[in-house]
A and B are shown apart, each in its own frame.
Chain A
Amino acid sequence: MIHRRFSTSQLLSWFGCIVLVASVSALKVSAADPKLEVQLVWGTNDETSPDAKHKPLEEALAKKLGMFKWKKYFVVNRQEIPVSATAQKIKLSEKCEIEIKNIEPSRYEINVFGKGKHVLKKTGKITNDPPFVIAGDDKNDCAWFILIREH
């Protein structure tokens, strides 16, 4: 039987290679973690928002929402979050929360909660443009929108 012996330098070279491959893989995984932009938007026919902190929604997105009857859209909350395979809960307002999980590249599972109660589960593709939109009626003939897009 032939026994092959590795020298210390050979062993170190192999170890280095393994560490390098592992680092590159880890880097690749972390680079693959997508970032999502989530915005809670309020649609109204009033010219201004009662809350001065609310900024008007960027023009391109407001134009996309032109299919709805509301004239003005204000950003109530905007967050950029890295999303992983572990579900992550994001508080958009006192009463509105969403939970996002990355299933596979560009595919996400989204759960929406209103006043702590689960109201929607949706799984699908989210890209940078157009955004994925979840909406609903609000009081005083207004509406809320959750706009999600890859960042």
Chain B
Amino acid sequence: MNQDTELNLQAYLDEELSEGEARKISVQLKNDAQANALIEELRFIKVGLRENELELKLPESREFYWSKIQREINRDVKVASPRATLRWWKPGYVRFAGVFAGACALLMLSFFAFDGQNDSRAMDEVEGTGEDMGSITYHSDKENMTVVYLFDRDPERMIDSK
């Protein structure tokens, strides 16, 4: 039995094949003892995994747990990616500069045409952290509560509150 057949059997078990392909495999299974043995083994593993997988209970809320993972991913990405050199004269960047200039012009126009002081939501987006600090803002639907969680970009150096 070659690898393709093995993969087809796996796909058959996972109901990922088209009707025609599934029919072919059904016929093959009636005549091929080796294929039959393999699909039984795969079925056994599938059931075993589904029924015996350990359930892990999180020590904190789901949103907070995932926000921590997101924070670690973001930190790793920043560490892994080398600092890109901005070659502004390249055609792509020139196009980007055009779009940026247009956006700035629109922003300036809207700034002069609209008095933001009357808009109570205008300040909502103002948020900033110091250079060394990062923050995650998340909202707990259960408690209807917003939490801004601060973290030091350098894990060795933490804010000591006391």
Contact = CB atoms under 8 A, between A and B. Distances in A.
B161 A42 contact: yes
A128 B124 CA distance: 19
A114 B159 CA distance: 6
Interface in A88-134: 92-96, 103-104, 107, 109, 112, 114-115, 117-124, 130-134
Nearest to B127: A122
Contacts of A76: 161-162
Contact of A67 (B60, B123, B133): B60
B91 interface: no
Summarize A's interface: helix, strand, loop or mixed: strand
A104 B118 CA distance: 11
Given A69-B60, A123-B127, A139-B158, A133 B148 contact: yes
B18 interface: no
Interface string A23-55: 000000000000000001010000000000000
A119 B120 contact: no
A93 B127 CA distance: 23
Contact of B162 (A42, A67, A69, A132): A42
Contact of B150 (A68, A94, A103, A119): A119
Interface residues of A, number: 39
Given A120-B148, A121-B127, A133-B146, A67 B140 contact: yes
Contacts of B145: 64, 130-131, 133
B155 to A, nearest CB: 8
B128 interface: yes
Interface residues of B, number: 33
B154 to A, nearest CB: 12
B149 A135 contact: yes
Nearest to B150: A136
Contacts of A103: 123
A68 B133 contact: no
Nearest to A45: B59
Contact of A135 (B61, B120, B150): B150
A80 interface: no
Contact of B159 (A69, A95, A104, A122): A95
Interface in B136-162: 140, 142-152, 158-162
A67 B160 contact: no
B67 to A, nearest CB: 11
A92 B140 CA distance: 25
Closest 6 CB pairs of A and B: A144-B161, A67-B61, A136-B150, A130-B145, A69-B60, A114-B159
8 contacts: A76-B162, A119-B150, A119-B159, A120-B127, A121-B129, A133-B146, A136-B149, A138-B158
